[in-house]
Amino acid sequence: MINDVDAAEAPRGGELPSPAFMPRGWVRSKPLPGSLAHHASRAEKAADLIGAIAAKARPGERIGSKDALRETCAVSVGTFNEAIKLALERGVISSRPGPGGGLFALEPPPLARMISWFRAASGNADALDNAMSIRGALAPLLAAEVLASITDAHQRELELQLALLHREHERGDVIEYVWAAWNLHAKIAGISTNALLEALYLSTMDVATSYLRTKLQQPGSTEITRAVWFDSFTATQDSLVAGIRDRDPEAIVGAICRTNPKVLLSPAPAEGTGTMV
């Protein structure tokens, strides 16, 4: 999902690259990680509305003609046609031509419902809480997988990624700090030999980073718009890597469950006024 930017740039000998190789003008050109839509197009919003209407109907029930639904969506013909295509691809409606035709509700398969949920999750606090709850349930499975598969080379990579996180903490670079945190968790998940577990874990992390992005950056901008507090979050990542190094599953699970983007958005008692780039 996300390219491993910092780790790819860092030498493998454990020595961090000089900040001179990462000019701030280049660093700040990147958005925060998170693949969930930061803002939806008019067609996507119309498709979401059509899906919401279909969800309230029984499977197979006619939800209206195209003309009537276009008026409900209040969009142009071209935008509505694009929305219909999206809704059909999502599996929430079917379309029948001719007399008695129109748009009909479908019961989407579980995978389609899950994708729809992720699509609507960006910036939603309730969705974030749900994702963090699911990730907490996955944490013992991931901890067991990591401890069964980790090698010395894996541990060195985790220590290096943690050092990169500390470097960005010290520099106060919010964007690179969040990328370093994402890359750390991507590396941890990648140690697992269970591809489905890795994908599910990173999907919940994607909800977290997408939520953070909506709170810190305006759509289409790379500028940070509010203060961020690093100390507690960094300490949690220290505990996570130490738990893996010490082969302590309880410490790993605890640190994963404490890794929450909301921690970055509010100060702990001793964290001062925060950092803004």
Per-residue pLDDT of 66-104, as tens digits, reads: 999 999 999 999 999 999 999 998 888 999 888 888 899
Q: What is the pLDDT of residue 221?
A: 63
What are 185-227's pLDDT values in tens digits?
999 999 999 999 999 999 999 999 888 888 887 666 667 778 8
Helix runs in 64-124, H state only: 66-73, 77-90, 110-119
Please give the residue that has the higher pLDDT: either 43 or 99: 43
What are 138-162's pLDDT values in tens digits?
999 999 999 999 999 999 999 999 9
The structural domains of the chain, ordered by start, are: 42-113 (1.10.10.10), 123-265 (1.20.120.530)
Please give the residue that has the higher pLDDT: either 23 or 48: 48
Q: Is the pLDDT of residue 42 over 80?
A: yes
Strands across the sheet containing 62-64: 62-64, 102-105, 93-96
**Cβ neighbour number for residue 100 with a 10 Å cutoff:** 7
Q: What are phi and psi of 129, to 5 degrees?
A: -60, -40
**Cβ neighbour number for residue 28 with a 10 Å cutoff:** 15
Please give the residue that has the higher pLDDT: either 45 or 248: 248
Q: What is the pLDDT of residue 40?
A: 65
pTM of this structure = 0.71
pLDDT category of residue 134 using cuts at 50, 70 and 90: very high
Helix runs in 10-151, H state only: 24-27, 42-55, 66-73, 77-90, 110-119, 125-149
Q: Is the pLDDT of residue 182 over 70?
A: yes
